[in-house]
Amino acid sequence: MTNSLPPLRIGLGYDSHRLGNQGPLRIGGIDLPADVHSIGHSDADVLLHAITDALLGAVAEPDIGQLFPDNAAENRNRDSAEFLHEALVRIRHHGMAIVNLDCVILAERPKMAPHLVAMRETIAGLLDLAVDQVGIKAKTGEGVGSIGSANAIAARAVVLLHRASG
- The answer on pLDDT for 25 being more than 80 is yes
Q: What does the pLDDT look like over 68-122, one tens digit per residue?
A: 988 888 888 899 999 999 999 999 999 999 999 999 999 999 999 999 999 999 9
Q: How many domains does the chain have?
A: 1
The β-bridge relationship of strands 134-139 and 96-106 is parallel
What CATH number corresponds to the domain at position 131? Answer: 3.30.1330.50
Statement: residue 6 has pLDDT above 80:
no
Mean pLDDT of the 21-49 span: 93
Q: Strand 25-27 to strand 36-38: parallel, antiparallel, or no bridges (unpaired)?
A: unpaired
Share of the chain above pLDDT 90, in %: 82
Sheet holding 8-21, edge to edge: 36-38, 8-21, 152-163, 96-106, 134-139
- Give pTM, 2 decimals: 0.94
- 129 to each of 59, 98, 123, 125, 147, how far by Cα in Å? 19, 8, 8, 6, 30
In a domain, 19, yes or no: yes
Position 3 pLDDT exceeds 80? no
Mean pLDDT score of the chain, rounded to an integer?
93
CB atoms within 10 A of CB 165: 6
> Is residue 1 one of the residues assigned to a domain?
no
Mean pLDDT of 15-24: 93
Q: What is the pLDDT of residue 9?
A: 96
Query: Residue 143: how many CB atoms within 10 A of its CB?
Result: 10
CA angle 11, 123, 90 (to 5 degrees): 45
Q: State the pairing for strand pair 152-163/36-38.
A: unpaired
- Residue 79: domain span: 8-163
| Phi, psi for 38 (deg, rounded to 5) | -80, 140
2 lies in a domain?
no
Indicate if the alpha-carbon torsion angle 101, 55, 106, 48 is positive or negative.
Answer: negative
The residue ranking higher by pLDDT, 19 or 2, is: 19
Mean pLDDT of 27-48: 94
User: Cβ(46)–Cβ(80) under 8 Å?
Assistant: no
Q: Does residue 5 register a pLDDT over 90? A: no
Cα 83 to the chain's mean position, in Å?
9
Q: Read off the DSSP letter of residue 70.
A: T
Considering the domain boundaries, does residue 101 fall inside one?
A: yes
In a domain, 3, yes or no: no
